Structure 1
């Protein structure tokens, strides 16, 4: 599955010198600053902070995690993994931060295409998760026109991540 390959890219990126750079720029994921769950720690949430977090994310992916745009946007079939307290931030990211509508993802694609600086760690993580969401959504679509639009979206997100991982 394509999302597994991109999750691997997240690991590579987190260990790269580019990930350390924080630049002042237009927010790619503005909803990350609008979390309404009442916890200061959930403002601008990120999941990956260590190698252990990365391994946990892989385990969650391999358990069959699904990011859906419905009432319960994050589904982790493995109850033990789903019950971990550290997964709370991943759930917040998937539920409240990631764009789910095609129009919102296309806005993100346009913003990514205009970028000249490397993505921050948070934005890279969220873009990988958006790519996972887009690939899972694409697999569920039967309408040829919708399928084509989501495929184009998937390709553009993958290209943006590939550009970001390229030489500086």
Structure 2
């Protein structure tokens, strides 16, 4: 009798630990590190209000530049001078993945993610898709297909997340 109770307790504690580990999976590990030059705390988020959502739309609509070192910047100098543009800079240049292996790691983590995405992870995934679109437009030949495939897989993961939750 006592052995059965112990086995049940062991089973439930194992299930709890497994669920906690899966729930605490970090999709964007770079978000846990800060850049010394930024005044922001760990895990920055761009969109906290409707005004910031509108600003993000303006930033994206005005266009972004992608230099040879893969640094993303806002084309419009007036918009780039806004204080909130620094948050976008940190998100785009320090947090989102920029290489195909990093993007594949993100996609595989999204496919196995058991809970709805947080607004931070959703925002970063969308910004990653924006980066991928810029890269796909920029690279020549067959590399374009690799970037396009990465974009499609992230899109499907986001669509699945939106449908399920």
Residue 158 (structure 2) aligns with: 161
Contact 1:42–1:89, Cα closer than 8 Å, also in 2: no
Contact 1:69–1:100, Cα closer than 8 Å, also in 2: no
Cα distance in 2, alignment partners of residues 59 and 38 from structure 1:
25
> What CA RMSD, in Å, does the superposition of the two structures yield over aligned residues?
1.8
Q: 1:126 to 1:64 in 2, by over 3 A?
A: same
Deviation at 1:38, TM superposition (A): 5.6
User: Secondary structure of 1:75's match?
Assistant: strand
Residue 119 (structure 1) aligns with: 117
Deviation digits for residues 9-60 of structure 1 (CA, Å, limit 9, x no counterpart): xxxxxxxxxxxxxx94210001101113265633111100000000000011
- Answering whether residue 104 of structure 2 is matched by residue 106 of structure 1, we say yes
TM-score by length of 2: 0.80
**Uncovered stretches (5+) of structure 1, i.e. residues with no partner:** 1-22
Q: 1:58 to 1:148 in 2, by over 3 A?
A: same
Residue 77 (structure 2) aligns with: 79
Cα distance in 2, alignment partners of residues 142 and 52 from structure 1:
37
Rg (Cα) greater in structure: 2
Cα distance in 1, alignment partners of residues 38 and 145 from structure 2:
39
Correspondence for 2:145 among 144, 148, 164: 148
Deviation at 1:95, TM superposition (A): 0.9
Contact 1:109–1:157, Cα closer than 8 Å, also in 2: yes
TM-score by length of 1: 0.79
- Map 1:83-98 → 2, pairs under 5 A: 83-98=81-96
Figure out how many residues of one structure are paired with residues of the other and give that number.
144
Give the structure, 1 or 2, with the largest relative contact order (CA under 8 Å, sep 6 or more).
Answer: 1
User: Secondary structure of 1:166's match?
Assistant: helix
